A = this chain, B = another copy of it.
Amino acid sequence: MEPKLIAPGDVKRVGVVGGGVIGIGWVLHYLRMGFDVTAYDPMPEARVRIQSMVDDTWPLMVDLGLRPGASRDRLTIVSTLSDAVCNADVVQEAVPEVPEMKTKVFAEMDKFAPSHAVLLTSTSGISMTVIQSESEHPERMVVGHPFNPPYLVPLVEILGGARTAPAAVEWAREFYSLNEKDPIVLEREVPAFIASRLQEAMWREALHMIAEGEATVEQIDISVRQGPGLRWAITGPMMNFHLAGGPGGMAHVLDHFGPTLTEPWTRLVAPELTDELRQRVIDGCDREAAGRSVADLVAERDRCLVAIMRARDAIQIPNAGKAPGSASGVPA
């Protein structure tokens, strides 16, 4: 069934269901975007936690720039789920990652929310097909998965379930784009979506290394934040290799380093580098490069590297980087 939705630019009031770190993060973001926000969490102590985190973080939101009319006074913390959603133009759910709980909460939100409201879940991996399974209007339910902290990190992963209307997915993409997010729309349901899978691969390799005494926690953090992590914040992993390939870019990297895919680098088994995969990766890098030469992209990356290291180091109290000598002692 086609849902009757309002235009994403006409949203005035956002309901947030769930008052943990992610829920409160959304509250802050939507307040900064100039919406009325109603927030609900069933735990009695949540009211104080929500208000105090909003108060503590608000100066950063001001620094970041408020939309016209934005005010933390436009937050109402309510005592029932129905109060949180009954006047909302869009709802962002952020309750614990328990499939049965999400499914139940969505069925209930569905009863009370206006028919024009899209219902978004912050789930980091539960299938929307499951979440919408007990609701009467599943067509308006969409995954909008943020990254911590949602009031700062731009990425939102979007996808529907088996019964979600494509129009609702497109609505979500437009809504987030209008509100300073950088959404990506997944073509299919894959466990944990995209970014968390990448993050999880690195996390597991790190845990293996710590378990085997190959690296300390500190060495892993230094190695990422002073090494490839700097580049990932600028180019992402694929363009990073494109830039490492010299004038030949990604094609050179795949042809030159492809064989090392079979070496025991990480515990993750490598995919077969078929001609099709090779071409797909090269084409993607070419699209991202959008006509810019590797040399141009390298010059841009270098300026960014200098700028972000300066910006970061002006603020951050070095910790892991402080005593590199001491980091060599792998704990017994």
Report A's interface with B, CB cutoff 8 A. 21, 57, 60, 63-64, 125, 147-149, 152-155, 157, 173, 177, 182-188, 190-192, 194-239, 241, 244, 246, 261, 263-274, 276-277, 280-281, 283-285, 287-290, 292, 298, 300, 302-312, 314-317, 319-321, 324-325, 327-331
Contacts and interface: CB of A to CB of B under 8 A. Distances in A.
B303 A315 contact: yes
Contact of A21 (B210, B235, B246, B273): B246
Contacts of A328: 173, 184-187
Nearest to A219: B184
A239 B312 contact: no
30 contacts: A57-B302, A60-B306, A125-B263, A147-B227, A147-B228, A149-B302, A152-B305, A154-B309, A184-B222, A186-B328, A190-B212, A191-B263, A192-B263, A192-B266, A195-B227, A197-B265, A198-B224, A201-B201, A203-B237, A206-B237, A217-B283, A218-B288, A221-B235, A225-B236, A230-B233, A233-B312, A267-B268, A284-B331, A304-B312, A307-B312
* CB-CB nearest 8 A-B residue pairs: A217-B284, A221-B236, A155-B227, A229-B232, A185-B328, A307-B311, A195-B223, A233-B233
A214 B194 contact: yes
Nearest to A316: B304
Given A204-B270, A284-B216, A324 B177 contact: yes
Contacts of A191: 263-265
A201 to B, nearest CB: 4
Copies in the complex: 2
Contact of A324 (B183, B280, B302, B319): B183
Contacts of A277: 207, 210-211
B215 A205 contact: no
A6 B206 CA distance: 36
Residue among A211, A233, A270, A321 with the most chain B CB within 10 A?
Answer: A233
B312 A204 contact: no
State the main secondary structure of chain A at its contact with B. Answer: helix
B266 A218 contact: no
B304 A290 contact: no
Contacts of A230: 153, 233
A235 B227 contact: no
A60 B304 CA distance: 11
Given A184-B324, A194-B214, A195-B224, 5 more contacts: A153-B231, A191-B263, A197-B205, A221-B239, A308-B308
A190 B292 CA distance: 37
Nearest to A215: B194
A202 B237 contact: yes
A147 B273 CA distance: 24
